[in-house]
Structure 1
Amino acid sequence: MIYQMNGTDYAEFTSELNHQEFYFDVDKDIKLHGVLFKPDSLEPIGTIFHYSGKGMHLMSSIQKSYKPLLKKGFQVFCFERRDFGKSTGEANNSLVLKKDALFVFDKVTKMNEIKGKPIVIWGQSLGGTFATMTASERQEKIKGLILEGTFSSFPDIGKVYARILKLENFKWIVPLIMNNDFPAEEEIKKLNIPTLILHSKSDVQVPYKLGRNIYDASNKANTQFWDINSKHIMAIYDYEDQYVNEFIKMIKS
């Protein structure tokens, strides 16, 4: 329920934005689809590696969220996890998805379009867990990490789903049956690069407390928390100028 996409796809990728499409061979007969969105006329000032939320494939409103970043000169890369969008395979194992995330990051950072430019990792919702894990294992390659609406661990969000599904009386069993691979609240402790965590107090999909749990576990010398009032992972629209400025500050740090 947390990371399986159940075959959510679309017929063809199209975009009015300047972009370059990629397919990554990660396993036998398994390809992951990714796109690098580029500013129209500016030489890119940096790259944002985006780990998207559960339902954010590359033909969703995700493209709209990139426009303010492209306008300021960033290029943005995102890929679709297995069994989602134009990617193949099955998303039935979080450790396999972790391996995919690192594989694609390593491939992308070696591209001529990316090399020599500062990189910021951006994770939203489910994507924040993969973003934090990647940042902790590749922090020598990046300038910073920005998380929005992210949960502290898979069991923590599993308990939330138990409540939504009217299984409140059984939430105690979630930590016993659900894996706890690369919890964000543990991975965040390894970071010594600039990190920003933002979370809305009115977020009904990932409760505010789960974002605070990540911050509470972090190294306060390099981590900031930004309280917002917005819908789940919608701050790029409600706080556009301030949000984009956070990316700019990171590449200049």
Structure 2
Amino acid sequence: MKITMTVLLLFVFQFVNAQFEDKFYYPKKEWKEIKTPFSEDFISVEKDTIHTAFFQPKTPPKATILFFHGAGGNISTYMYMIKPMIANGYQVYAVDFRGYGKSTGKSTHKNVQEDVIIVFNKMKENKDMKGTKLIVLGASLGCQIATNFTKNHQEEVDALILDGGFSSFADVAKLYAPKPAHTYIESVLGEVYPSKEEIKAIKNLPKLIIHGKVDKTIPISHAQIVFKNAQEPKTFFTSEKGHLEAFSQETKKIFKEIDKLLTVE
């Protein structure tokens, strides 16, 4: 009876944990037409395929941006952020994790963390990446991935940008859950690469944290926690706009800050 109960509890835990993951990833398969020229790659991961898109400016790039988008949509729906990067002289390597856009499979916290390493190693094979500085940029949910990746690859990253991120998966889940459930949520999600903790281990490279003052999706307090925990050098840019709107609506101000990242020693 004791063994049966243990098995049942394990099953319930795995089921509930899976339900939590389903609340974070909202992949969109529909691919919008992209008129900006780009090259693409399809990377094998286990039985699935990850699609990436590489955009280049018309002039020699200032740096390479490795871009991890948010929980919904796919690369094609984030062109409003990508196009200003290209226009301001940055080449962009954008990633659709499993299930997003032309990628197959289903994203989980675990496989995203593993897949990003495979994607990065593939990216480094591109001759156009060689000799350029690398900026890792996360948008919304992508901030968790960007922070975790940068923490583990500090010697290969030159700067980190977090736009519209949350402090941890647990913290954002608690925004929408009744208070009695908070302890359980923390026990399930608290250790899933929380950016508010992982940022502490990122040392000398410059960090730019962006958040909208009127962001109705993720409260600005989440970004403020991450910023407080980050080591110098660091900059906080308070956007006057909403969630992930700074790149498209405050472009000059944003790229003034991004360009500064390349001069920090």
TM-score by length of 2: 0.85
1:161, CA displacement in angstroms? 2.7
Instruction: State the partner residue of 2:69.
Output: 52
1:134, CA displacement in angstroms? 1.0
Equivalent residues of 1:196, 1:225 under 8 A apart: yes
Indicate yes or no: 2:49 matched with 1:31.
yes
1:43, CA displacement in angstroms? 2.1
1:18, CA displacement in angstroms? 1.7
Relative to structure 1, the CA distance from residue 109 to residue 249 in structure 2 (aligned partners, 3 Å threshold; closer, same or farther) is farther
Equivalent residues of 1:124, 1:147 under 8 A apart: yes
Partner SS state of residue 75, structure 2: coil
Instruction: State the partner residue of 1:80.
Output: 96
* Counterpart pick for 1:66 among 78, 82, 96: 82
More helix per residue: 2
Instruction: State the partner residue of 2:13.
Output: none
Instruction: State the partner residue of 1:9.
Output: 29
Instruction: State the partner residue of 2:263.
Output: 252
Partner SS state of residue 158, structure 1: helix
Larger Rg: 2
CA distance in structure 1 between the partners assigned to 2:191 and 2:23 by the alignment: 12
1:241, CA displacement in angstroms? 0.5
CA distance in structure 2 between the partners assigned to 1:13 and 1:203 by the alignment: 25
Task: Name the amino acid aligned to 1:227.
Answer: T
CA deviation string 1:107-127 (max 9, x = no partner) = 212311111111111111000
* Counterpart pick for 2:252 among 227, 241, 244: 241
Instruction: State the partner residue of 1:194.
Output: 206
Partner SS state of residue 213, structure 1: helix
* Counterpart pick for 2:169 among 154, 163, 166: 154
TM-score by length of 1: 0.89
Task: Name the amino acid aligned to 1:185.
Answer: K
CA distance in structure 2 between the partners assigned to 1:2 and 1:77 by the alignment: 26
CA distance in structure 1 between the partners assigned to 2:32 and 2:84 by the alignment: 21
CA deviation string 1:188-235 (max 9, x = no partner) = 11112000112123212111111111111111x211222222111111
Equivalent residues of 1:132, 1:184 under 8 A apart: yes
CA distance in structure 2 between the partners assigned to 1:81 and 1:2 by the alignment: 16
Indicate yes or no: 2:224 matched with 1:212.
yes
CA distance in structure 2 between the partners assigned to 1:202 and 1:154 by the alignment: 21
Count how many residue pairs are aligned between Structure 1 and Structure 2: 242
CA distance in structure 2 between the partners assigned to 1:147 and 1:2 by the alignment: 21
Instruction: State the partner residue of 2:40.
Output: 21
1:169, CA displacement in angstroms? 4.8
Structure 1, unpaired ranges of 5+: none
Runs of 4+ in 1 over 6 A off after TM superposition: none
* Counterpart pick for 1:176 among 187, 191, 197: 187
CA deviation string 1:84-111 (max 9, x = no partner) = 11111122x3121101112212221231
Equivalent residues of 1:120, 1:247 under 8 A apart: no
1:3, CA displacement in angstroms? 3.0
Partner SS state of residue 145, structure 1: strand
CA distance in structure 1 between the partners assigned to 2:68 and 2:91 by the alignment: 14
Instruction: State the partner residue of 2:240.
Output: 229
Instruction: State the partner residue of 2:140.
Output: 125
CA RMSD, Structure 1 to Structure 2 (Å): 1.7
Using CA pairs below 8 Å that are at least 6 residues apart, which structure has the higher relative contact order? 1
CA distance in structure 2 between the partners assigned to 1:252 and 1:222 by the alignment: 12
Partner SS state of residue 59, structure 1: helix
CA distance in structure 2 between the partners assigned to 1:180 and 1:204 by the alignment: 25
